A and B are shown apart, each in its own frame.
Chain A
Amino acid sequence: MSDVAASPNRRRGIVSLTLMAGIMLVGLHIAIGLLTLVWLPYEPNAFTGGRLEGASLAHWVGTDRLGRDLFTQLMIGSRIALTVGLGAVAIGATIGVSIGILAAFASRWLDDALAATLDILIAFPTLLIAMLVVAASDTASLGSAIVALGIALSAIVARLTRILAKRVLVMDYITAARTSGSSWPKIVAIHVLPNIWPTLSVNFALQFGLAVIAEASLSYLGLGAPPPNASWGRMLQEAQGTVYTAPLGAIAPGIALVSLAIGVNLLADGLRARIDAARTLS
């Protein structure tokens, strides 16, 4: 019996560790991103050193071909990655949750049509949809990248919302609310959203990680924010040709990208474990 009683506690211990690591990594990037708004080591595009200098006290991760400080660019990269992640998830969540709820409440045939459309959209890789959206807009910009990724993510969110909402809608208390005359916006606001929110928020965290990596991929392909925005993807692309002579130029943005992606995933995992534990307990 004592084993059973100890198990939720131990679980909570593991939960906190994962969650803590996630919060620390993401927090670090958020702190750096905020710091760039008020302070930077160098002017981001000024030629402050020689060609492809190595790490030094003056340039912590060296310089690029034009002699620009890579650490400054990495810091700005944090801000851009967070902006894109937040923006894309906000757009994806707004569109996705709206469509998902609509589908859950819709008549049979409309629901089927929406579900089929979502399945088709999800069959396309996120990056491919984002590339199509960017290509359709006239010029690549940070805004177009955010919108493109937001649209690409919305299908995944919509499908999840629809499934979760449908599961809630068959509950007895919903039937009770309906028979007592509650309007459907009220049911959504009071019963559906609060119930599906924990699972959705975990998903948003995962989508955030996806968006950050997808933005780096877009920039790597030259479809992301144009220069002088220092995106990690563009830094990786520019360092490709000099990877043997100046490996830091590729390693540093790679580590930055991976640390944020891992941080967000740990955060999502930690959240999910905590939600599961709370459910088990209740």
Chain B
Amino acid sequence: MTSRPLLFVAALLAGASFSAIALGQGFNPDASIRIGSLYEPQNLDNTAGAGQGINEAFNGNVYEALFQLTDAGTVEPRLVESYEASEDGLTYTFKLKEGVTFHSGDPLTAADVKYSIERVTAEASKSSRKRSLSTIAGIETPDDQTVVITLSARSISLPYNLSYVWIVNDAAGDITSAEDGTGPYTLAEWRRGSALALSRFDGYWGEAPSNGEVIYTYFTDATALNNALLTNAIDIITSVQSPDSLAQFSGNPSYTVTEGASTTKELLAYNDRVAPFDNVKVRKALARATDKARLLNSIWGDYGTLIGSFVPPTDPWYVDLTGVDAYDVESAKALLAEAGYPDGFTFTLDTPDYDPHPIVAQFLQTEYAKIGVTVNINIITANEWYTKIYQERNFEATLQEHVNHRDIVFYGNPDFYWGYNNPDVVKLIADAEAAGSEAEQFEKLTEANKIIAEDAASNWLYLYPQIVVSAANVTGYPVNGLNSQFFAYDIEKAQ
């Protein structure tokens, strides 16, 4: 292992920005920041199936929400001045910030907030967050600065869930190719297939951005993206997908490579409904037969993080569970024998055809052969995965990357594709949502987290790193990229 001059940034470092590096040097307040990305949005509306690219470009930059999920993983008020929940937790009253205007010049009012939430919960909305807002029973606007939300059941995550709801001007109409938000940037130009340009909004209510404009340029392959940075056609790559392209940048003083925390987890998901995976001993045996450290090194070199459950370190209910079912081939064999499979068994692993899944599948095939378990690899497309596994649950085991933040709640849903059904966990996760305080919520989810790890509900292989590469004269960008966000307003470019 060669050591590389890598600026490692601990995930939980608050603020998590590099502005300190530009020490002593002035930055250009009108600089143009050129960002290279692989994720071009399909359209500009996050409730119309635009893809993760729109979050990257627009969240916090063009649109703001009542609350903001910060790069450090905390939820903080954004367009909300103050808020309070009633004693029974079923009524939330939000006071909006004064003096906020949309890019079109209209002032922010409570009616806009009501409109914006209803956009997400509407029948036609394709937002992945629709379900988490389903407890909202009514929204009232007693005056222009006050929004009252009533719930059908307690929902401690309401502020967090509202951080996904863009506040849009209720007069904006269709926003699939235009925008009207309150953020520090306005949309200057969108050239479909190539670029999206944002320019500073001079009427912004908050602190002005430290750059003049931001241009997202979209690439379809990683090599072209890397070459663009090497030829100074862009300043930043938002998310590097393989450690091997980094060789060109790390160790070169012209570039900065940062590793932050992602929420993307590589998973061997069993179908817990079917034999032999309905047997906890079998699942634990496979977990113990997996040398995850070796796998992570194979895929990501010196990057990435080992996890012992579905919860990444940026979720508040994280505990280090890597010690549960640690790598131990002998005890794996013993467990298999106890479970009634002394000679092992054979199963089919449905493997999505894109990197890293096929190589991970081959790794598992070799590992499990050591305990007598035969893995038949069946390569499928992403579409086949969606119908065969996610919808029809017609599988024994599969590989998948799960990108969402705070998604342990999937284990509280026995109808989810992996079919994990532990009544204690279902209850803990439901109770956590109905908790009276965050402390209580965290406690219950931490408990649920420990149980799924003990149950080896799935085999959590590793957490992807979030790697950002930039030209050395550019600083202040977010390093964690939670929920694909990429806040651009603190980015500084040296003069």
The interface of chain A, by Cβ under 8 A from chain B, is 45-47, 51-52, 65-67, 139-140, 222, 226-228, 238, 241-242, 244-246
Contacts and interface: CB of A to CB of B under 8 A. Distances in A.
Nearest to A45: B366
A139 B361 CA distance: 16
Nearest to B245: A244
A65 B359 contact: yes
Nearest to B361: A227
Contacts of A47: 294, 366
Interface stretch (B15-23, B296-304, B416-424): B296-304
B244 A46 contact: no
Given A139-B378, A226-B377, A242-B244, A66 B358 contact: no
B362 A245 contact: no
B343 interface: no
B75 interface: no
A51 B298 contact: yes
A50 to B, nearest CB: 8
B244 A246 contact: yes
B362 A227 contact: yes
A245 B301 CA distance: 12
A66 B378 CA distance: 19
Q: Is the interface of A mostly helix, strand, loop or mixed?
A: loop
A228 B244 contact: no
B297 to A, nearest CB: 6
Given A52-B244, A244-B248, 6 more contacts: A47-B366, A51-B301, A66-B298, A222-B358, A242-B242, A244-B244
B365 interface: yes
A241 B355 CA distance: 9
Contacts of A242: 242, 244
Contacts of A226: 376-379
B369 to A, nearest CB: 8
Residue from the set B299, B353, B362 with the largest chain A CB neighbour count within 10 Å: B362
A139 B376 CA distance: 11
Interface of B: 222, 242, 244-245, 247-248, 294, 297-299, 301, 353, 355, 358-359, 361-363, 365-366, 369, 376-379
A46 B301 contact: no
B245 to A, nearest CB: 7
A236 to B, nearest CB: 13
A252 B473 CA distance: 39
7 contacts: A45-B369, A51-B298, A65-B298, A226-B379, A228-B362, A244-B244, A245-B244
A241 B244 contact: yes
Top-8 shortest CB links A-B: A242-B244, A245-B244, A45-B366, A222-B353, A227-B362, A241-B242, A66-B298, A65-B298
A69 to B, nearest CB: 13
A46 B365 CA distance: 10
Given A51-B301, A140-B379, A66 B242 contact: no
Contact of B363 (A52, A66, A245, A246): A66
A159 B237 CA distance: 53
A65 B222 CA distance: 18
A51 B298 CA distance: 6
Nearest to B295: A66
Nearest to A67: B298
B362 A66 contact: yes
B365 A228 contact: yes
B359 A45 contact: no
Contacts of A244: 244-245, 247-248
Contacts of B299: 65
Contacts of A140: 379
A144 to B, nearest CB: 12
A142 to B, nearest CB: 13
Contacts of B245: 241, 244
B377 A227 contact: yes
A225 to B, nearest CB: 11
Nearest to A43: B366
Contacts of B247: 244-245
A47 B361 CA distance: 14
Contact of A227 (B222, B365, B369): B365
Contacts of B355: 241
B350 to A, nearest CB: 10
